[in-house]
Amino acid sequence: MSVIQAAGLFQGSPRLRPVSAFRVMGIVNVTPDSFSDGGLWLDPAAAIAHGRDLVAEGAAILDVGGESTRPGAEPVDADEEARRVLPVLEGLRDAGATLSIDTTKRLVAEAALGAGATLVNDVSALRFDPELAGVCADAGCDVCLMHMLGEPRTMQEDPRYDDVVDDVRAFLEERLAFAVAEGIAEERVLLDPGIGFGKTTDHNLELLRRLDELTTLGRPVVVGTSRKSFLGRLTGREVASERVAGTVATNVIALERGATVFRVHDVAPNVEALTVAAATLRPS
Ligand code: HH2
């Protein structure tokens, strides 16, 4: 079953929220500078072992990325990004999970699709490299379109919205229409509000609180709160790897509001919490 099929199983009546199916997407950052685990998995063998551990913990998807998107991160050229992620994808082909490539670049996505990826996770929603859309259309792969205000370098400089949920919803609707116009099948698209990407703490919390307004776009909703700094601002946890409880809290709320894919660093506690939450919420 593809990610989309699983995530879409319980769509339909807005009264029956899709709480019965969820997928956890484990993060494999092959970067020196990711905000919470930069440098830990730069060695391909370490990244592959980490990915396999995440699958053993219950990850249904592995999201492999070779460029950090944190504010102020150094941009990476396509050759270097591909050099980082390709051996890791090859090494995880038989790991038993859907492989996702976290990139905004056509060249990286093309190579990753050849190395076993079947999902392209683009934090720019096909804005930074419009040719990426054609690559995804030709490959027939799944595509995750994420909202970001502007670009990573400047996105956290005083972000403003008329109404953050309405604005993010309109953006995702427009990017979904763009993807479909470029030949990507609508059934292949997942949507993500981009928690932390050009948002204050209040923006993030409002998006989570009103997440059900995004599920009305008819596509599976992905949520990525894992270890993000707004959790630290709320709890006083300055060390990102200590924000697991905050991450779990947001994911349980997001499940109840209709999200079906959860992008996390700490797979085991999130799978456990979501399993109990889904069993509790599931309509009998
Ligand atoms: N967040 C990050 C990266 N990619 N993709 C989606 N779809 N949604 C997200 O919320 C999201 C994402 C940032 O987290 P991380 O990969 O841990 O950090 P970095 O970008 O510094 O590598």
Residue type, 198: G
Opening angle at CA 224, ends 186 and 106, nearest 5? 55
Q: Residue 181, SS3? A: helix
Catalytic site residue from 84, 106, 227, 263: 263
For 162-194, write each residue's pLDDT tens digit: 999 999 999 999 999 999 999 999 999 999 999
For 48-104, write each residue's pLDDT tens digit: 999 999 999 999 999 999 999 988 788 899 999 999 999 999 999 999 999 999 999
Q: Whole-angstrom Cα distance, residue 247 to residue 265?
A: 10
Cα(224) to centroid of ligand 1, in Å? 7
**266-to-60, 104, 194 alpha-carbon distances in Å:** 13, 24, 19
- Burial label, 13 (beta-carbon count in 10 A; 0-12, 13-18, 19+): exposed
The 10 Å Cβ neighbour count of residue 55 is 17
265 CA closest ligand 1 atom index: 17
0.75 cut: is pTM over it? Answer: yes
Residue carrying structure tokens 């593809």: 2
Instruction: Tell me whether residue 263 is one of the annotated catalytic residues.
Output: yes
pLDDT of residue 281: 92
Instruction: Tell me whether residue 210 is one of the annotated catalytic residues.
Output: no
Question: Which mutation among 3, 23, 34 tests ligand 1's pocket best, with the greatest number of atoms within 8 A of CB?
Answer: 34
pLDDT of residue 2: 53
Pairing of strands 23-29, 222-223: unpaired
Cα(12) to centroid of ligand 1, in Å? 29
Cα(99) to centroid of ligand 1, in Å? 15
Cα(64) to centroid of ligand 1, in Å? 10
Residue percentage of the chain with pLDDT more than 90: 81
Q: Is residue 8 predicted with pLDDT exceeding 70?
A: no
Identify the residues whose C-beta falls under 6 Å from ligand 1: 27, 29, 31, 34-36, 65, 68-70, 102, 121, 123, 144, 146, 192, 194-195, 222, 224, 263
Question: Which mutation among 68, 119, 172 tests ligand 1's pocket best, with the greatest number of atoms within 8 A of CB?
Answer: 68
Phi, psi of 169 (to 5 degrees): -60, -45
Q: Whose CA is nearest to atom 1 of ligand 1?
A: 224
DSSP 6-56: HHHTT-S-TTS-S-S--EEEEEEE--S--TTTTTTT-SHHHHHHHHHHHHH
Q: Is residue 125 predicted with pLDDT exceeding 70?
A: yes
Residue type, 268: A
Is the C-alpha dihedral spanning 11, 255, 23, 105 positive or negative? Answer: positive
Catalytic site residue from 106, 169, 219, 228: 228
Q: Are 262 and 251 in contact (CB under 8 A)?
A: yes
Q: Is residue 155 predicted with pLDDT exceeding 90?
A: no
Residue 19: band (very low, low, confident or very high) from pLDDT cuts 50, 70, 90: very low
pLDDT of residue 3: 52
Q: Whose CA is nearest to atom 11 of ligand 1?
A: 224
Q: Whole-angstrom Cα distance, residue 92 to residue 54?
A: 11
Residue percentage of the chain with pLDDT more than 70: 92
Q: Is residue 227 predicted with pLDDT exceeding 90?
A: yes
pLDDT of residue 75: 87
Cα(13) to centroid of ligand 1, in Å? 31
